[in-house]
Amino acid sequence: MEIGIILTIIFVVLRLTGVIHWSWWWVMAPLWIGAVIIGIMFVAAGIGMLFIMRRLRKRLRTLSQRWWGMSEEDGDSNKHRLLDKNRPRTND
């Protein structure tokens, strides 16, 4: 069994027998504290993944622009030419 469940069972028994006089919030604390910690870890992992994905996207954009011979400024204006291969290229 998980330690949180075992502690909750012990605290409930102690509360019902009158050995401890804690609030029910604290008796059930092993359950909700574990859930809060897991939630914080998921949020932190999500934020970390957002930063990693943003860095990778920037790196891939730079590599793509180098591959196609474009500068940083030309990247957005020439993007449609890279996707449309049937369209003849013109020097604007």
User: What was the pLDDT predicted at 92?
Assistant: 53
Consecutive H or E run containing 19: none
> Structural domain boundaries of the chain?
3-82
pLDDT along the chain (92 residues), means of 10: 89 96 94 92 96 90 79 55 57 58
Per-residue H/E/C for 27-72: HCHHHHHHHHHHHHHHHHHHHHHHHHHHHHHHHHHHHHHHHCCCCC
Consecutive H or E run containing 75: helix 74-77
Q: Please tell me the pTM assigned to this model.
A: 0.52
User: What was the pLDDT predicted at 74?
Assistant: 54
User: What was the pLDDT predicted at 34?
Assistant: 86
Q: How far apart are CA 85 and CA 92, in angstroms?
A: 17
